[in-house]
Amino acid sequence: MQTGTVLRARSGFYTILADDGATIESRMRGRIKKDRQTSDLAVIGDRVAVASLPDGTGMIERVEPRRSKFSRRQPGPRGAWREDLLVANVDQVLIVFACADPPPHVRLVDRFLVVAEANEVDAVLVANKVDLVGESAARDVFGLYEGIGYPVEYVSARAGIGIDRLRDRLAGRVSVVAGPSGVGKSTLLNAVQPGLQLATGEVSEVLHKGRHTTVSAELLEVEGPAGGWVADTPGLRELGLFAIPPEDLAWCFPEMRPFLGGCAFRDCSHLHEPRCAVRAAVQGGDVPEARYESYRRLRAGED
Ligand SMILES: Nc1nc2c(ncn2[C@@H]2O[C@H](COP(=O)(O)OP(=O)(O)O)[C@@H](O)[C@H]2O)c(=O)[nH]1
Ligand SMILES: [Mg+2]
Ligand SMILES: [Zn+2]
């Protein structure tokens, strides 16, 4: 029996990187399948125990408990929520936006941050294409998030700004890279590690997406002494579509958390109720208005 990490998963077939460095193509023991409720038996990032079969392939005998996970939640029947697990043992989400071309939409930035918070995974904002506007203009937009406590990296894949810092952020960790199309995610990862040769640009992006709709999710290895992994899955590209239970939404805005116990009504929606501590905090300047507006729209179902 060997232990290893799931690097690729596709309909019952798993590529495992064993801890000794070997790659093992594996299937999963039926017994584990029955023990588990979800269809997500093992996902990329999972730590597993694998038995070797005579033909050189492997059989996953056990999936270790997950330290963290990144999942998509979808409304199910009768107010229940269905969880669709995408990546296990994630350390952080790198949320990439462009300073221009396409222009950053704060509502969308907030939406990506909410998904990271709902998954209780650290979020790092990456403001790419800083070459187009300069760092000072970029800070006018993204400085708000530094104020809330999110780390923000001002980078340019094209001009080679901040790439070393980004590489340091990826080192030795499992990261999910998310962000809208065209902001430079693939270009950035290629700059961090030229060997990845990810397709970039509009046309190739379409091909890339097309390829990945039929192909599996995978973890890409970051080279260097500390190692590190970047998750690439089709389900993560459209992070903006993740649904969050309405009553969990305010908690996903960290700057609102200190006020959540203080409303007159325990089930306060923070939209219209009297004596709402969150709205008082907005008035008092402790919660940025723009962030509250994102909350309000998401909660009211306008976005
Ligand atoms: N000016 C500028 N353009 C960039 C930068 N990074 C990427 N781009 C361009 O933005 C476009 C989209 O990049 P791509 O990596 O495919 O974006 P993705 O959809 O997020 O993976 C490409 O034409 C890139 O050349 C940057 O730092 N500055
Ligand atoms: Mg891309
Ligand atoms: Zn309230």
- 36 vs 106 pLDDT, higher one: 106
To test the pocket of ligand 1, the residue of 200, 203, 208, 238 to mutate (highest count of ligand atoms within 8 Å of its CB) is 200
Tell me: do 102 and 159 sit in the same domain: yes
**Could you tell me if residue 68 is inside a domain?**
no
Tell me: do 162 and 256 sit in the same domain: no
Tell me: do 92 and 182 sit in the same domain: yes
To test the pocket of ligand 1, the residue of 95, 128, 187 to mutate (highest count of ligand atoms within 8 Å of its CB) is 187
Residue nearest to atom 1 of ligand 1 (CA): 129
**Could you tell me if residue 69 is inside a domain?**
no
* Pocket (CB within 6 angstroms of ligand 1): 128-129, 131-132, 156-158, 179, 181-187, 200-201, 205
Residue nearest to atom 10 of ligand 1 (CA): 184
Tell me: do 277 and 224 sit in the same domain: no
Residue nearest to atom 12 of ligand 1 (CA): 182
**Could you tell me if residue 192 is inside a domain?**
yes
Residue nearest to atom 22 of ligand 1 (CA): 201
> For position 52, which CATH number holds?
2.40.50.140
Tell me: do 96 and 226 sit in the same domain: yes
**Could you tell me if residue 71 is inside a domain?**
no
> Which residues lie at CB < 5 A from ion ligand 2?
185-186
Tell me: do 269 and 217 sit in the same domain: no
Tell me: do 174 and 51 sit in the same domain: no
**Could you tell me if residue 81 is inside a domain?**
no
Tell me: do 196 and 261 sit in the same domain: no
> For position 153, which CATH number holds?
3.40.50.300
- 206 vs 14 pLDDT, higher one: 14
185 CA distance to ligand 3 centroid (A)?
A: 37
Mind listing the pLDDT tens digit for each residue in 47-92?
999 999 999 999 999 999 999 999 888 888 888 888 888 899 999 9
Residue 215 has pLDDT above 60, yes or no: no
pLDDT at 205: 43
Tell me: do 40 and 133 sit in the same domain: no
Q: Which of 16, 31, 63 is the last residue of a domain?
A: 63
Domain that holds residue 32: 2-63
Tell me: do 104 and 237 sit in the same domain: yes
Q: Of all residues in the chain, what percent carry a pLDDT higher than 70?
A: 89
**Could you tell me if residue 98 is inside a domain?**
yes
**Could you tell me if residue 72 is inside a domain?**
no
201 CA distance to ligand 2 centroid (A)?
A: 7
Q: What is the mean pLDDT of residues 22-47?
A: 79
> For position 291, which CATH number holds?
1.10.40.50
Tell me: do 7 and 49 sit in the same domain: yes
pLDDT at 209: 46
pLDDT at 207: 43
275 CA distance to ligand 2 centroid (A)?
A: 46
**Atom of ligand 1 lying closest to residue 183 CA:** 20
**Could you tell me if residue 177 is inside a domain?**
yes
In the chain, the number of structural domains is 3
Residue 167 has pLDDT above 60, yes or no: yes
Question: Secondary structure of the chain in the HEC alphabet?
Answer: CEEEEEEEEECCEEEEEECCCCEEEEEECHHHHHHCCCCCCCCECCEEEEEECCCCCEEEEEECCCCCEEEEEEECHHHCEEEEEEEECCCEEEEEEECCCCCCCHHHHHHHHHHHHHCCCEEEEEEECHHHCCHHHHHHHHHHHHHHCCCEEECECCCCECHHHHHHHHCCCEEEEECCCCCCHHHHHHHHCHHHCCCCCHHHHHHHHHHHHHCCEEEEECCCCCCCEEEECHHHHCHHHCCCCHHHCHHHCHHHHHHHHHCCCCCCCCCCCCCCHHHHHHHCCCCCHHHHHHHHHHHCCCC
Mind listing the pLDDT tens digit for each residue in 243-297?
888 999 999 999 999 999 999 999 999 999 999 999 999 999 999 999 999 999 9
State the ligand closest to the CA atom of 209: 2
Tell me: do 160 and 235 sit in the same domain: yes
Q: Which of 192, 223, 241 is the last residue of a domain?
A: 241
Q: What is the pTM of this model?
A: 0.89
- 45 vs 208 pLDDT, higher one: 45
291 CA distance to ligand 2 centroid (A)?
A: 27
